[in-house]
Homo-oligomer: A and B are copies of this chain.
Amino acid sequence: MSKNINVGIIGVSGYTGLELVKMLINHPTFKLNYVANSTGDITMDELHPSLSGICSLEVKKADVDECAATCSLVFLAVPHKTAMAFVKPFMKLGIKVVDFSADYRLTQDVYEEYYCAHTDAENLENVVYGLPEMFREEIKNASLVANPGCFPTSAILGLLPFMDRRVPNTPIIVDAKTGVSGAGKKLSDVTHFVNVNDNLFAYNPFHHRHAPEIAQKLGVSFDEVNFVPHLVPLTRGMISSIYIQTQGSFDAEELVREYYKDEPYVRISKNPVDMKNTAGTNFCDIYVKQKGNLLFVSSSIDNLLRGSSSQALANANLMMGLDENSGIPNIAYVP
């Protein structure tokens, strides 16, 4: 194993930054030689004590030029809006970027409705949406990849095979359940242990920012995607329970198996999927069940990996001409 491609990460304080670091430590080709956050002046193992004895890289205060001087590709694990400000100069310097944020996932008008003003229309034109099952070839040639949101990843992978069978204009219902790590490290009443433990609740019903992302990528109107996420008392994992009305006669399991038959990171399950079999991996596990013309799809991913960091790494592998599977985790945290 020769680590001969230098990569950097801006944003190593959060959960997704840490997950990426963990995978890059053992990556056969990528060498992590630049890590940064908003303050610097600390080492990786001070920031994340679990890395003690494993990684003591110096964490820098993020600086585009310093990063560009030593890296061919950079992962941006920073909040939306902050991301745009980094993407522009990196693109100018010819550095490839995988952006974890929402900044380049939506058309400008929709982005501005749900987030804030967009200040980088130029790169927005050339971005590729980093869902390999949809855009593998485009990703290979991309300079800038918008890494998908966690909910959109699980929902789109569950819906894609069936969009042709759907009755037009009937509601697509995505009742999602997510672990708490999806909310990040920021302190809030919602993530206080006492409020989450022994509890469950919907949040932002019909108003979550991931709904337009799902709609745009599936090519349907926002009105058709009805998305209600629920917070559940566990750390990592995400399941989208999807309901759509279909027409014509078909065997949903057969169809989904055929659709994903060449995909290395989608598994079709004969039994309802759970969260533990995907936790720690890049897999999306899918289960389908038909009842007359109603189709139930249950789609499970690790929200921090397939929903963020391992998908980002798959994208980076593709962008740099490597095997898509290089360094991608496939062995779950069970039990």
**Chain B residues with CB under 8 A of A239:** 200-202, 230
Interface string of A269-293 (1 = CB under 8 A from B): 1011111110110010001010110
**Which of the 9-residue segments A140-148, A157-165, A173-181 touches chain B?**
A173-181
The A144-197 residues at the B interface (CB cut-off 8 A) are 171, 173, 175, 177, 179-181, 185, 187-189, 191-197
CB nearest to A26 among chain B residues: B331
When the two chains form the complex, which single residue of B52, B191, B198, B267 contacts A276, counting CB atoms closer than 8 Å? B198
| A250 interfacial contact with B, CB 8 Å | no
Chain B residue contacts of A233, Cβ below 8 A: 193, 197, 232-234
Contact in complex: B236, A205 (CB < 8 Å): no
A177, A206, A276, A280: residue with the most chain B Cβ atoms closer than 10 Å: A276
Copies in the complex: 4
Interface size in chain A (residues, C-beta < 8 A): 79
Contact call B292/A241, Cβ cutoff below 8 A: no
Q: Is A328 part of the binding interface, using a Cβ–Cβ cutoff of 8 Å?
A: no
User: For residues 41 through 94 of chain A, which have their beta carbon under 8 Å from a beta carbon of chain B?
Assistant: 48-54
Residue of B nearest to A180 (CB): B193
Q: Is the CB–CB distance between B234 and A199 below 8 Å?
A: yes
- Contact partners of A192 in chain B: CB under 8 A: 185, 187, 191-193
14 A-B residue pairs with CB within 8 Å: A171-B243, A181-B335, A187-B187, A187-B189, A191-B192, A193-B235, A197-B233, A197-B235, A199-B237, A199-B275, A201-B273, A226-B294, A235-B335, A304-B335
In addition to A52-B277, A200-B232, A201-B298, 20 A-B residue pairs with Cβ atoms within 8 Å of each other are A50-B277, A52-B267, A54-B331, A175-B241, A175-B243, A191-B192, A191-B194, A195-B276, A195-B335, A198-B235, A198-B276, A199-B275, A201-B239, A202-B241, A202-B273, A206-B289, A226-B296, A228-B241, A243-B243, A333-B333
- Taking Cβ atoms with an 8 Å cutoff, the residues of A that contact B are 15, 18, 22, 25-26, 48-54, 171, 173, 175, 177, 179-181, 185, 187-189, 191-203, 205-206, 223, 226, 228, 230, 232-237, 239, 241, 243, 245, 264, 267, 269, 271-277, 279-280, 283, 287, 289, 291-292, 294, 296, 298, 304, 330-335
